[in-house]
Amino acid sequence: MFNKILKLWFGLLMMVLFITNVSEAQTKKVSYPLLSIAPLVGVQFPVGGLNDSYNPSWNAGLDFNLAVNRETSFFLNATYYNMPVKDNVAIPSNASYIGITAGPRYVFTSPSVKAKFFLEAGLGIYIFTQKEFTVVGPPDVIFPSASTTNFGVNVGPGVMIPLGGTVDLKIKSKLNYSFESGGSGGSRTFVTGVMGVDFKL
């Protein structure tokens, strides 16, 4: 699984470097603070104990970003993570996460490179929802949906590729970890890779 993630990230990095080399540099002066919003879509890969029950799937969300200078930004992210259950688990219920996190982002800039690489770390809440499911009897037993909310953290690298004066292509990957209350359910760790378009407001 990690080999697939590394190959995906390496391929995206090569694409970024190619686009950077064939694009013309822009010299437009930017005034700070700068607010932007980015719709994002991508994939998630459960790892650890979460991988025992759920398959890789899709995610979608929004990034809000406030840049205070060339190197420092702060982000607020809200994302839905789909968690389809594996066929061989004891509790056959699909699930999902909703993550709402915020934190700092440090941007690595260089006059000779158009693309901007960054590293960000977030802290917030992860809402885990196990959907309703039925155990076939007789008699049939219906288990209602249930949700738990826990604190969590995430960290990962990314890159922004300028596409125009107010639009960037954003690509990033993250390691997400949710702290489970009471220690139940094992580790709640998953890796994500997303891509979207960042619009400066």
What structural domains does the chain harbor? 2-22+31-200 (2.40.160.20)
pLDDT tens digits for range 54-74: 999 999 999 999 999 989 999
Q: Return the half-sphere exposure (C-beta side, CA atoms, 13 A cut-off) of residue 110.
A: 9
Q: What is the pTM of this model?
A: 0.80
pLDDT tens digits for range 37-58: 999 999 999 998 888 889 999 9
- Give 187's contacts (C-beta < 8 A, 6+ positions apart): 48, 49, 50, 177, 180
What tokens does 137 get?
A: 């009897």
